[in-house]
Every structure is written in C-alpha cells, then in structure tokens.
Homo-oligomer: A and B are copies of this chain.
Amino acid sequence: MALIVQKYGGSSVADAGKIKNVAQRIAATRDEGKQVVVVVSAMGDTTNYLIGKALEITDRPDLREFDALLSTGEQMSMALLAMALKNMGYEAISLSGAQAGIRTDATYSQARILAVESKRVVRELEKGNIGIVAGFQGITDEMDITTLGRGGSDTTAVALSASLGAEICQIYTDVEGVYTADPRLVPEAQKLAEIGYDEMLEMASYGAGVMHNRAVELGALFNIPILVASSFTQSPGTLIHGGASMEVRNKVRGIAHDLDVAKVTMVGVPDRPGISAAIFQPLARAGVSVDTIVQNASIDNITDLTFTVAKSDLTKAMEVVEPIAKSIGARECVSDSRLGKISIIGTGMQNTPGYAARMFGALSELDINIQLITTSEIRITCIISDTEVKKAVRALHRALELEIPE
C-alpha cells in the first residue's frame, strides 16, 4: 500500500476547530486507500508560551531542560489530533519523537537526526493505524529528549518519508505554495507548480520563508518529492523535486528578498594569508552568523573586505572586528545597518547569459544603488538600501515577466 507522509504546521492546528479540520484532511487521504503518517507541530503560540515560561525562571535556561519543556508542545498536539481521528472512527495512534524512533545527537535545541528507527511506526501502520508523530523532537541514546531547532518538524517529516519509503512528503502550512515573489509585496506573483531542490534552497536561504532549507536538503539527499500546500484550501500547492523538466521552463523561477541585512566593511586590509581566518573565526566564536562575504580585488596588496550580518548582530560584529582591524593594520571599519537583499533564482540561468544585465538594468532604471553583488550558479543577489527593496522586487518581477502564468 502506498504511504504518504503529511506535516501540519502550528497555524494549521492552532485550535480545536483547526485540529478537526486537519483530521478531516487526513481521513480523506486514508479513504483514498493510502497509509498515512502525520507529523504535527505545536499548536499556534504554544511554543512561544513555553519559551515565556522558561524565561520567567531564567534568561539562560539549561538547554537539556529547555528541550524537555518545548517538546511538550508537539506532544499535546499529537495527542489531540489522534483523539480527533479516533473520534471520527479512524484507527490512529500518537507517537512522540522517542516512540517514533527519531534518534538524534545530544546537541540540545539544535539536534541532528542520526537515524529513524521506524519499527514501531511500521508496526502501527501494519495494524491499520494512522501514525501521528510529534515533530521537532527526538531522543538520544541516553533516552534524553532533544529538539531539532528551526524547521524541525519539516525535517522530521522528510526524515520519516525517507526512512519509510513514502511516495511523497506533503508539507501543509498557512501559505499555498512557493511563489515567484512574496505575494504580500507583488500581488501578481504566480504560484509555482513545481520547483527544483536547488532552486528551492536558494529561494529559502534568500528569504522566502516557506520551508526550512534543512528539510529541503534532506529531501534532495534522499530524492523525496515534497509538496508545499495550504491546510486551509484544496489548492494544489508547489511540488519540490529533482525532476528534469525544469531546464525548459522560464529561466528565472523566482525573486527572494530579505529586509534584515547589515553590512560591515573593513577598509585597507593588508592582503596576506590568514587574514580572513583572523576575522571570521572570532565572529563565529561570538555567535555572529555571517551571510555574504565579498573581498574586492587587491591593489598594492591592500584590499577591502565586506560581509553582511543580521541587523541585530551588527553591534556585536563591530565589537569583534574593530580590535582585529587595529591589530592587523587595516585602515578602518565602517558599517551600514539599513540594507536589504534581493535575489533572482533559477536553474536555467546557468547556461543563459544576460540575466545579470537585465537585473542591474531594472534596478538602475529605479535609480537604486547596488552596494554589493554576489552570485551562485543559479542565483544573482544584490545588496541595496532596505527602503528600496519593495519597489525593486515589484519592478524586477515585471521586468522578468514572472507574472505570466507558466
């Protein structure tokens, strides 16, 4: 019998009515003769409520205990969803991360899945049960409870899909799929029927927060087709897959943007081996996550080094790099905290010249100054003033004709 894994996010199970709605959808899939495993997130604001409780105790909660606390959120929703299905006359059983065999390392709050020991899940499926698995959580060899960090429930769903050999992993959320651009900014943005893993990874890293990259990477690794769709409508959603049909389509698949960008430039850096390590290792130790790094071509062995961070990390980043700049003999450090990022993404861009020119041209027509440019094989990113991001997204969407349905 074919097996489908479905994941429902927190907004899809935010209250009893929504849980019953989700139960109906699961039941409909079961009625199609499928085996079904469901991964469920914590209800609505439960996780924030639990975090608040911890912060009332201490502003630095012990991470092992924090995970034991947070994992109760998904345990609640799994039990309620299983109740709802049983109440409708369906055979269903809830399984915590521990019960479902989600084995992780002991990196509390950011645990990595080591293996899925799916014996129990398989046994329940064979008994005719719908398995309702708590997302976002796992268990160590010592039977200690862990949580998986951001995107954890999506990751649980894809990992279970791989372990159980599911035909598809369906991620149900509060958006209808992946769009050519954020529909809140660009009303004429088109929902994509499908997108490649690589393209989705670039879309997600560059700010289109539909699904966490970690789950997409896992899907790519095990070649699990992932459908992203809304739990509130019957709209078909977007299929993320590794299929070959992508080459022939519109070369740019979508535009991602991000308003949370700050920039640090170290000016007049002596260009010698070891300098980059001297700068970026201390930043990593200070917990500053560096996004883009650009080093300008060196003239007379003096170079400028620029990197971007989240706006909230800028002060810390400057505290770390200013003494380093002094010690290595750089001229000065300058920063700008009012930046944003806009990217065009598409596998087809690799072999087709001219996209960069079209992008820069569109921005230039709007008199937008480009502060930094970085590219990957399937992406071109410009850093611009954050106040200009919105109009840039709209203009680029038009310039690339993304409003035309596929």
Contact = CB atoms under 8 A, between A and B. Distances in A.
Nearest to A99: B143
Nearest to A68: B79
A50 interface: yes
Nearest to A86: B62
Nearest to A75: B72
A68 to B, nearest CB: 4
A104 to B, nearest CB: 15
Contacts of A57: 16, 19-20, 80, 83-84, 87
Nearest to A88: B58
A69 interface: yes
Contacts of A62: 82-83, 86-87
A65 interface: yes
A370 to B, nearest CB: 47
Interface string A43-84: 000000010011011101110111011011001101110111
Nearest to A134: B68
A96 interface: yes
Contacts of A84: 57-58
Interface in A187-203: none
Nearest to A62: B86
Q: Which of A57, A71, A94 has the most CB of B within 10 A?
A: A57
Contacts of A71: 75
A68 B64 CA distance: 21
Interface in A78-125: 78-80, 82-84, 86-87, 93-94, 96, 98-99, 120
Main secondary structure of the interface of A (DSSP, over half): helix
B75 A54 contact: no
Interface string A313-328: 0000000000000000
Nearest to A50: B76
Nearest to A70: B79
Contacts of A61: 83, 87
A350 B93 CA distance: 53
B65 A82 contact: yes
A66 B53 contact: no
B53 A16 contact: yes
A82 to B, nearest CB: 5
Interface in A348-370: none
Contacts of A15: 56
A74 to B, nearest CB: 9
B83 A66 contact: yes
30 contacts: A15-B56, A19-B57, A20-B57, A53-B76, A54-B83, A57-B80, A57-B83, A58-B83, A58-B84, A58-B87, A60-B87, A61-B87, A62-B87, A64-B93, A64-B94, A65-B79, A65-B86, A65-B94, A66-B83, A68-B79, A68-B82, A68-B94, A68-B96, A69-B79, A69-B83, A72-B75, A96-B145, A98-B98, A99-B144, A120-B143
Given A16-B53, A72-B72, 13 more contacts: A50-B76, A53-B80, A57-B83, A57-B84, A58-B84, A62-B86, A65-B82, A65-B94, A68-B82, A68-B94, A69-B76, A69-B79, A72-B75
Interface of A: 15-16, 19-20, 50, 53-54, 56-58, 60-62, 64-66, 68-69, 71-72, 75-76, 78-80, 82-84, 86-87, 93-94, 96, 98-99, 120, 143-145
